[in-house]
Structure 1
Amino acid sequence: MTHTPDPNSPGPDSPERAQADFTRSLSYGDYLHLDTLLSAHQPLTGAHDEHLFIAVHHVSEVWLHLINVELRAAMRALEAGVVDAPLKGLTRVVRALEQLTQAWEVLKTMTPADYLQFRGAFGAASGFQSANYRTMEFLLGNRHAALLRPHAHRPDLHAPLSADFHAPSLYDLALRLLAERGLPIPDEVLHRDRTRPPTPHPEVLAAWLTVYRDPERSWDLYELAEKLLDVEDNFRRWRYNHLTTVERTIGFKTGSGGTSGAGYLRRALETVLFPELWQVRTEL
């Protein structure tokens, strides 16, 4: 006897097959706490583009948080002498930085006139005060005591930031790994003042040159060096796109957080996180 399918029965690919009862299980919105997430989107004015401004910054904070999670995981592995896991984590950091860079492209659809409709509403609030961004900077080694001050009013933020400010950076741990592998990293570098940004050192450059001149002998260290450079390269691109976004939106006006705005961002582009990894190209 031939079975004739019921034309009114939903097929295996029909949306009617999807689960629809969530009285006893998590739904998509429940799992992601979307009510809480979207309730944080609260414009202060009726300006249409304020929605865009808030959305881009919310999304950017989520990416920054993920970057910090991945940086910490990579740093724990490096501290334990492991290289493979950090390579994967740092690749994820690079991809997240690419998303952050692209977020500025969305914000650039806002014109100066659009921005001025709500600019005065948020007062001195500024991305300069982002604890997620500051954490990323500290983990990557860009440290200045003044950068802690905007968080003094929040002990819950200031305490972990201060801990990161005094702890070894990602690059510090990479150099420590080189020393553990027998490369001559001087004690003055291994025990440097971690509250200061890194400065180029000829013996560190010599150690990296050893790795780069014979990559097959220390392939994992060579890969680590290139991945660190990927991170800094994409960090610079994100900062540059931030600068051009600010310049086309407010020109050279003072930033909302009290910095010089575009001038401050342009100077920040001069920061070098892993100096010897850039110098090694010239010396090869």
Structure 2
Amino acid sequence: MTQAHEYVTYARMDELHELQQPRSNARGELNFLLISQVQELLFRAVSDDLDQARQALHKDDPAGARTALRRATRTQRVLVTCWEVMNGMSADEFVAFRHVLNDASGVQSFAYRALEFAMGNRPPGHVQSAYADSYPSLRVELSKPSLYDAALAYLARQGFAVPADCVEKVPWQQHEADPLVEDVWLEIYRDPHTYREAHRLAESLLEVAYQFSHWRATHLLVVERMLGGKSGTGGSDGAAWLREINEHRFFPELWTFRTRL
């Protein structure tokens, strides 16, 4: 077997290129499928790195967590760039095949939902839907503390005054912003030399949260360019729905304490 064939066999590239099955003759549909599938795989890559970071925090290894978070951030930047590829399609090109999507929508992506769960966005409605879903990976993710839960538990073990209910709650429960957690981050940032490891961890976490919000914001702009005020596929409200979720911030106290710094 030649080296070229070994590459194809190892990575199953022949199967990969058979996965794109356009339902129309519209020029833009193949590109739409390809970029959608690329993003799906990148969601999984980010989730894997966030899980590695979470495991490192469980072991009180903030340096290992930061290494994993840096990898996640690099992948997130590629995710943002994916929208630039999609942005090369004009509105009329998208409309030419939009009807074949039927009720298909990116909000149905279980890999994206698992990533949100890993980051800590676990609203009750989404949690209930996940337990009724056919994707066991979502239930597995909800059985673990989120990345932010793991970070707060790490800080508590280092002697910071993290409220007990923030580290002792059941894993699937969403973290709610707490002024006492904000106090902890404020203490760290007021003396970053003393709390060097905690400060570096905070900056790594915030970069992951920032890149996620950057991805959401770019998504909104692309949807507005493609759809204007139309409803989204899958029954969503399109740009209006995206504007609402753009207001959400992962790791909330890492954003809010800055007003007091």
TM-score under structure 2 length normalisation:
0.94
1:264 has 2:241 as partner: yes
1:205 is matched by which residue type in structure 2? E
CA separation of 1:153 and 1:111: change in aligned 2, threshold 3 A = farther
- Residue equivalent to 1:4: none
1:245 has 2:219 as partner: no
Partner of 1:198, secondary structure, is: coil
TM-superposed CA distance for 1:26, in Å, is: 6.0
Partner of 1:147, secondary structure, is: helix
Q: Distance in 1 between matches of 2:224 and 2:128?
A: 26
1:126 is matched by which residue type in structure 2? S
2:183 to 206, 212, 231: 206
Q: Distance in 1 between matches of 2:155 and 2:191?
A: 14
1:147 to 126, 132, 152: 126
1:22 has 2:2 as partner: yes
Q: Which of the two has higher C-alpha Rg? A: 1
Q: Distance in 2 between matches of 1:179 and 1:135?
A: 26
- Residue equivalent to 1:66: 45
2:72 to 64, 83, 93: 93
CA separation of 1:142 and 1:154: change in aligned 2, threshold 3 A = closer
2:13 is matched by which residue type in structure 1? L
TM-superposed CA distance for 1:280, in Å, is: 2.3
1:57 has 2:9 as partner: no
Alignment of 1:159-174 (within 5 A): 159-174=136-151
Q: Distance in 1 between matches of 2:237 and 2:130?
A: 19
Partner of 2:148, secondary structure, is: helix
- Residue equivalent to 1:236: 213
Partner of 2:256, secondary structure, is: helix
Note if contact 1:197-1:273 (Cα within 8 Å) is conserved in structure 2.
no
TM-superposed CA distance for 1:62, in Å, is: 1.3
- Residue equivalent to 2:160: 183
Partner of 2:235, secondary structure, is: coil
1:277 has 2:257 as partner: no
TM-superposed CA distance for 1:182, in Å, is: 0.5
Note if contact 1:198-1:275 (Cα within 8 Å) is conserved in structure 2.
no
- Residue equivalent to 1:31: 10
Note if contact 1:124-1:258 (Cα within 8 Å) is conserved in structure 2.
yes
Give unpaired runs (5+ residues) of structure 2. Answer: none
Give unpaired runs (5+ residues) of structure 1. Answer: 1-20
Note if contact 2:213-2:249 (Cα within 8 Å) is conserved in structure 1.
no
- % of aligned pairs identical? 34
The structure with more helix, counted as a fraction of residues: 2
CA separation of 1:176 and 1:151: change in aligned 2, threshold 3 A = closer
Note if contact 1:101-1:238 (Cα within 8 Å) is conserved in structure 2.
yes
- Residue equivalent to 2:196: 219
TM-score under structure 1 length normalisation:
0.86
Partner of 2:21, secondary structure, is: coil
Note if contact 1:129-1:151 (Cα within 8 Å) is conserved in structure 2.
no
